[in-house]
Amino acid sequence: MTAFRRFMRWRRERRWNARGSALVAVTFMATAMLILSLTVFQFGWQDAVLAKRDESHARALFLAESGLAMGLSWLKAQDAPPDSTTTMHPFGAYPQTLAGGTYTVTIEPDALNPGATRLIYTIRSTATSEGRTRILELDVSTGTVANYLYLTNRESMPGGGTPLWFCDSDVIDGPMFTNDQISIFGDPEFLDIVGSAYGGPDDAGNDPGFLYYNGNEHNHIESAAPSNAPHDNPIFHEGYELGLPEIDYPTASAVNDLEVMAAAAGITLTLGPYDIWLSRPDENGEPTYGYVSYSRKDKNEWTDVDLHGFNGIIYVHSGLTIRGTLDGEVTIVSGGFVDVVDDVLYRDSDANGPSPNCDDLLGLIAGTDINIVNNEPNQTDCVIHAAMVAINNTMRVENWNVGSPRGTLTLYGSLAQDFRGPVGTGYWQDGEFIISTGYQKDYHYDVRLRNYSPPGFIEFLQSGFYTKLYWREITPDC
């Protein structure tokens, strides 16, 4: 074989070998691409499955939350809190269909409800969406106006729409609710949950939001944001809720009902007004603990009554004044005004309010106003231990905008007002709020009022609102 022919044969063999190597490489690459494509598809499919599961998981939670809300709405819609002792099925025992899933709601009354003054229920909502199930429970209790340190129907003074402001110097250390808009000036501090019905389902003409002072008296703004930096920076330690349903604020009929209760087994005083003195000093100057005393106003002709000798309700047809130290439980109701003429205290208390085991409890209810009188005893501070209610007006300080500062108005208890009443005036100086007239506020919630009420409050001062006690998820995912 010639050299030329050997050379050509070598070229042909080399060409075929190259073609074979290329074919192997292409086959390998195709196989790798196929494997990669299958892997990507597998991951994509798994992601789609997980996304679908997450969507179903979230939808089941939404359905369960909706079930709790509907169960609570059903309770509120009843003419009276249910007296059932067995499980209730407000929407039927079988699953109901909603938004691509199902839910079932049950309401379980607490075993201690029969005969209790405050009723507790557990709302249980079980929801399922595409195989994902979430189970939630909410404990609620019937409530009265005393479930709040601070409750108002309107956040303005009587006779005018001018708002009253929560200011830098205010620290509200209990639950608060208003059917009106909350007005913020500076940096007030709220230590418990805050709620407002402004812009809620009963107030379709407005949008939920705060009214912020915004630096000057002519430039206020409305906003649902939790602050209005740099001017207004309230601190909400336990959060806030806006646009809630209104609370049914008590009307004059509650006063009439308490009058009936007093007539049945309590004390009714006519031809007033009257002076009321808790633990009035005897002839030796010693307080008569466990007694309440009354006299026609300025007559100084006293009748002393053992607090254990009646049902705990005293009704005065007209106005009354009050002072003294309570040792026991009583609710004092006026068809007109209540004038606080000196400190009103619990016997089992100190400078920090009622002791942990205090068994003294006062309800103070005015058909119109509760007034902190501008007299000598009240010129240097005034302290009140009571659950106070101004049915048809307000709690306010007499001559709140004139004279000199009178120190601090301290409350341990609760305060409910139809209108919000003024306490004093002040101004800013070097970053500090200075009281000009009236009092500095120092309000504290008596936490016993979460579970106990003065006589007559549960019967006639229910707020039409169920207090949320505890939310929990029983089955996170099953």
The mean pLDDT of 84-98, rounded to a whole number, is: 90
| Residue percentage of the chain with pLDDT more than 70 | 87
Least confident of 141-150, 191-200, 271-280, 365-374: 141-150
More confident residue, 471 or 305: 305
**pLDDT tens-digit profile of 253-277?**
899 999 999 999 999 999 889 999 9
Query: Model confidence at 32, in pLDDT bands (50, 70, 90)?
Result: low
pLDDT beyond 90 at 98: no
Q: Which residues contact 100 (CB under 8 A, 6 or more apart)?
A: 59, 129, 130
Domain positions in the chain? 1-130, 146-179+247-463
The mean pLDDT of 183-211, rounded to a whole number, is: 94
CA distance 78 to 97: 23
pLDDT beyond 90 at 24: no
The mean pLDDT of 363-371, rounded to a whole number, is: 97
The mean pLDDT of 404-415, rounded to a whole number, is: 96
**pLDDT tens-digit profile of 111-155?**
988 877 678 999 999 999 988 999 999 998 888 899 899 999 999
pLDDT beyond 90 at 247: no
Query: Model confidence at 2, in pLDDT bands (50, 70, 90)?
Result: low
Paired tokens of 337: 């005004």
Tell me whether the omega of the peptide bond preceding residue 114 falls within 30 degrees of 0, making it cis: no
The pLDDT value given to residue 270: 94
**pLDDT tens-digit profile of 422-468?**
999 988 777 677 889 999 999 999 999 987 889 998 877 776 667 77
The mean pLDDT of 159-168, rounded to a whole number, is: 84
The pLDDT value given to residue 17: 54
The pLDDT value given to residue 283: 92
The mean pLDDT of 156-177, rounded to a whole number, is: 88
CA distance 106 to 334: 42
pLDDT beyond 60 at 389: yes
pLDDT beyond 70 at 41: no
The pLDDT value given to residue 8: 53
Q: Is 72 helix (H, G, I), strand (E, B) or coil?
A: helix
Strand extents, DSSP E, 300-376: 303-306, 313-316, 320-326, 329-334, 338-346, 349-350, 353-354, 361-366, 370-372
List of long-range contacts for 79-84, beta carbons under 8 Å, 24+ apart: 81/119, 81/142, 82/107, 82/109, 82/121, 83/113, 83/114, 84/109
pLDDT beyond 70 at 52: no
Mean pLDDT over each residue of the chain, to the nearest integer: 87
CA distance 368 to 389: 9
The pLDDT value given to residue 408: 95
Instruction: Identify whether the C-beta of residue 395 lies closer than 8 Å to the C-beta of residue 158.
Output: no
SS3 letters for 91-114? Answer: CCCCCEEECCEEEEEEEEECCCCC
Q: Is 167 helix (H, G, I), strand (E, B) or coil?
A: coil
Paired tokens of 118: 């405050």
Least confident of 31-40, 187-196, 206-215, 223-232: 31-40
Least confident of 74-83, 283-292, 360-369: 74-83
Instruction: Name the β-bridge partners of 428.
Output: 433
Query: Model confidence at 49, in pLDDT bands (50, 70, 90)?
Result: very low
pLDDT beyond 70 at 34: no
The pLDDT value given to residue 50: 47
CA distance 214 to 210: 11
The pLDDT value given to residue 434: 86
Least confident of 10-19, 24-33, 56-65: 10-19
β-strand 424-429 against 432-445: which pairing, if any? antiparallel
